Structure 1
Amino acid sequence: MSTSTRTPRTSRRLAALAVGLTAVLAASVGPSFAAPHPSTGPAVTRAAAAAAPSVVNPGNQVSLQYDHAYLPMTATGGAAPYTWSAVNLPTGASINSSTGLISGLLRGSGVRTVTVTAKDTTGAAASTTFTWRVIRDACPRC
């Protein structure tokens, strides 16, 4: 019986694969990252796009009527500073448009679905929605 080793053939295949892969990568990356050449004009540069903003969900809120609300909202990504807005806040609460802080004396009771939106300096906006339940205390002055 004769035995043959396949290492020379395998080595040649791997070498050919490496050369081919190098050629493909060089062709796809090529001039977009190359330095300017007098005959080709300026090099093409690619600016990284800023990530879209994302508003962090604070989770569902439960408060007692006549308590003071203090809920700082936060956002990530985008181009700070953000402009904040909110819809359907409990009665007596408001949001600071420059800091994102929701505060105020909660005067009404009930369950509300609140939507908070942050808009960055480029105009990109993101929002989050959560429920806020304000419970009427059985004895608010006891």
Structure 2
Amino acid sequence: MPTSRSWRPTRRQRGGVYLIWLGVTTWRSTRRGVKPVVRKRWRLPWTQLGGFGQGLWSNILNPKAASVYLSLVPQFLASHRSVAPQIATLAVVHVAVVLVWLLFWTSVVAAARTAIDTPRFRRGMSRLAGAVLVGLGIRTATAS
């Protein structure tokens, strides 16, 4: 029979210690250096077009875009004028807006990717993740 002095950690405390161990291990792994991520995976045929081409094709092939045009475009057309030039004008304006929009987001994502792919960023993220795990482990282990 156990005495009143014997102490056994609770399940929560063991989980907290495990989280602390994971955090310390993650933090220490940054000393060895983060290896570059090599990904070899299957790619869709249009991925060779780059971000802009993918965004353009996803916008063109989106069935919701056709329903928006069918429901919204008629209110911008004047009934007393020829329809074809009005639709052509709206299409040119929309292509220009989408072109600017997709070029903007393509450049933002490309800049973010170059920043994320650096070893310094990955090392910082590993250290942050390790610190968060240690903090969560301490909180879990000391929770009542």
Q: TM-score if structure 2 supplies the norm length?
A: 0.29
- Quick check: which one's strand share is greater? 1
Task: Determine which structure has greater relative contact order: mean sequence separation of CA pairs < 8 Å that are 6+ residues apart, divided by chain length.
Answer: 2
Radius of gyration: which is bigger?
Answer: 1
- Quick check: which one's helix share is greater? 2
Q: TM-score if structure 1 supplies the norm length?
A: 0.29
